[in-house]
Amino acid sequence: MTHRTLATLMLAAGIATLAGCASPTVITLNDGREIQAVDAPKYDEKSGFYEFEQLDGKETRINKDQVRTVKEL
């Protein structure tokens, strides 16, 4: 096996591993709106807010009291 082929296979394996880590999430708010996130939101107990990145790359924070459900797609 040549070095180029080996490097290509290692790169493909790395990309596949990273792709498996992200699990898109839908956050449903109490008013019925749905927000899609790149990954599961992180909950900050001190502030009482969920923090996540939307599909367009925008970092967002939402108060826990406004969230009805958080579901992975």
Using left for φ > 0, alpha for ψ between -120 and 50, and beta otherwise, residue 57 falls in left
Return the domain boundaries, the chain: 23-72
pLDDT in single tens digits along all 73 residues of the chain:
566 776 666 666 655 555 555 689 999 999 999 999 999 999 999 999 999 999 999 999 999 999 999 999 8
Range 23-72 classified under CATH 2.60.40.1840: no
* pLDDT confidence of residue 4: 72
Segments of the chain assigned E as strands? 25-29, 34-37, 42-44, 49-53, 59-63, 67-72
Task: List the structure tokens of 25.
Answer: 């999430």
